[in-house]
Structure 1
Amino acid sequence: MFPVASSSIESTPATGAAKPSSNPAAKPKRRVRRLLASWSRWLHIYLSMFGSAVVLFFSITGLTLNHSDWFFAEHATKISGTMPREWLNVDAPAPPGWDEYDFSHQIYRLEVVELLRSEHRLRGKVTDFLAFEDECEVTFQSPGYSATARINRSTGEYAVDVLSSDLVTVMNDLHKGRHSGEVWSWVIDVSAVIGTLVGLTGFVLIFFLKLRRRSGIALAVLGAAMTWYFYTLAVA
């Protein structure tokens, strides 16, 4: 056997080997695509898990709200009592620009409200306190609950009508943010943001799934078209 000189062997590129990209802008574009896919997947997964409880709550209550007659149950209670007449007839000057219809300046409103709360365990916020020449009307409201007290200013006697609803009605009121307070209003806002981000990131991710891209986009367009169609029927 004879040795073969190394200089006689020519190196040839492997057949089918990928050639390096000649476009310098390709790498940054690929990096951006990877980052977009990674962040969209991360947000979609963890926001879905974090917001699963509120999304489930608003989904279920959307159904019960749309069919409230299936679940609605209301319990009415009537309460009566007496409070000091001095609280209802305070000798106080009328405020500037008094319209001669609102007599609330002649009433100790805080004392009246606290007595009604403590004596009868009324709950919720005071949404109305109307003071007329001969009587007062105080309204307490919270989700699925209302209590209206009518007070005779001359005698101090009052009657309270309490309406309390079932758990489904309470949840329906929470869904609408009805008499639920500022804290629950933030819950609604945060859940709306989470739901929006979950939807957007899910739509972005479909563009990175080559096998399902066309069918996914087609279903998204179909869903949007159906929503628009039913919207036009609803507002017609």
Structure 2
Amino acid sequence: MARRSSRRKGWSLKDWHWISSAICLIGMLLFSVTGITLNHAGWIESAPSVESHESSLPQTELARLVNASGNDVLPTFFHRWYEDKTQNSISSNAEIEWNDYELYVAMPRPGGDSWFSVDLASGAFYSETTDRGWIAYFNDLHKARNTGLFWSLFIDVFAIASILFTVTGLLLLKKYSKGRKSTWPLVLAGFIIPLFAIMGSAHAADNELTVEIPRLSVAEYHAPYLAVWLANERHQRVVDIAVWYDVNLKDNEGEKWLKDMRQWWRRSGRMADMPIDGVSGATRRPGTNRVDLTPLLTQLPELEAGQYYLYVEAARELGGREMLRLPLSLPIESPISISDTGEHELGRVSLKLEP
């Protein structure tokens, strides 16, 4: 008599469920915790660490750098010079921007960023590296911000495993729901509650930009300066949308601190005559604030098709500085809704536009 094999052929529904749950375990825990920290960014105090370097590029190297202007890759000699001066290397994802008067390179990464500039006339070099801490690092992993290829692949695997986990869970509920009257009402509630939350958060406005300024528990609080502008795919400013600062200080004292919004200042502020009509305004207190999109909406019909970026930068006296970037493709052919959340000086930034 043949012996019956005790080994099962293939995996059962339970096998698929527990294996997918094992794969999802750490990722689901990470995304759940960072979901809370992102949703309540204003509750968490942070003190970014900023390291800066100033130097001057020798005239011979400066001439060689000027000859290489416009290239998407920096010369090897400049890599060596940069490493010698800063003890850091230029990352492979560096965003290189050339214009008539300077070289600007941004090197974003999870939990921080690094950038430097070289004045193409004088050779003046300035670099800055910001580390916002571990919470900011994991929050950026949650949003897949500046995380690279391998993390992107992990998110794909995690998403597939999560789908498998939920589908097999639903099938197991169906299989064992007999005698458990609360099963399907709870499943239905899991669908209806998020649906009502989405419907309740809908705004009536067709075109809207909102910027949340978080409440910070600090000894001395000053409302942040804030700049909003649109840039093209080479990150060159196209139009200023809003600049909030202390417009009521005597002798235009408030304008002295606009340069603390370093990215906006380099791209637009230092060449602008303040105040800018229809753009400049007073600082705002903590909470969700609406930004007047008139400067943007009047320019949209005249802009060429392509990739653009909406920048929001905030800087606070006795505090930190933060910038968010929302990608935007023109022309707008269907309603869009994009958002991002900052770590300390900015909360949730949300943009809605209609064709």
Name the residue aligned to 2:135: 168
2:43 pairs with one of 62, 70, 85? 70
Question: CA offset at residue 125 of structure 1?
Answer: 4.3
Does the Cα contact within 8 Å between 1:125 and 1:142 map onto a contact in 2?
no
Question: CA offset at residue 45 of structure 1?
Answer: 1.0
Aligned pairs for 1:119-158 within 5 A: 119-120=85-86, 121-122=88-89, 124-158=91-125
Aligned length: 193
SS at 1:89 equivalent:
helix
Amino acid of the structure 1 residue aligned with 2:13: S
Question: CA offset at residue 153 of structure 1?
Answer: 1.9
Considering fraction of residues, name the structure with more helix. Answer: 1
Name the residue aligned to 1:79: 53
* Residue 223 to residue 127, structure 1, CA distance change in 2 (3 Å): same
How far apart, CA to CA, are the structure 2 residues paired with 1:147 and 1:140? 5
Considering fraction of residues, name the structure with more strand. Answer: 2
* Residue 199 to residue 90, structure 1, CA distance change in 2 (3 Å): same
Aligned pairs for 1:87-126 within 5 A: 87-90=61-64, 103-105=69-71, 108-120=74-86, 121-122=88-89, 124-126=91-93
Paired-residue identity, %: 22
| Greater RCO structure (CA 8 Å; 6+ sep) | 1
Question: CA offset at residue 123 of structure 1?
Answer: 6.4
For normalisation by structure 1, the TM-score amounts to 0.71
Question: CA offset at residue 70 of structure 1?
Answer: 2.6
* Residue 208 to residue 125, structure 1, CA distance change in 2 (3 Å): same
Q: Which has the larger radius of gyration?
A: 1
Name the residue aligned to 2:194: 227
> C-alpha offsets along residues 25-73 of structure 1, whole Å, 9 cap, x if unaligned?
xxxxxxxxxx99x732111112112221111111111111111223343
Question: CA offset at residue 156 of structure 1?
Answer: 2.5
How far apart, CA to CA, are the structure 1 residues paired with 2:72 and 2:159? 45
SS at 2:138 equivalent:
helix
* Residue 91 to residue 157, structure 1, CA distance change in 2 (3 Å): closer
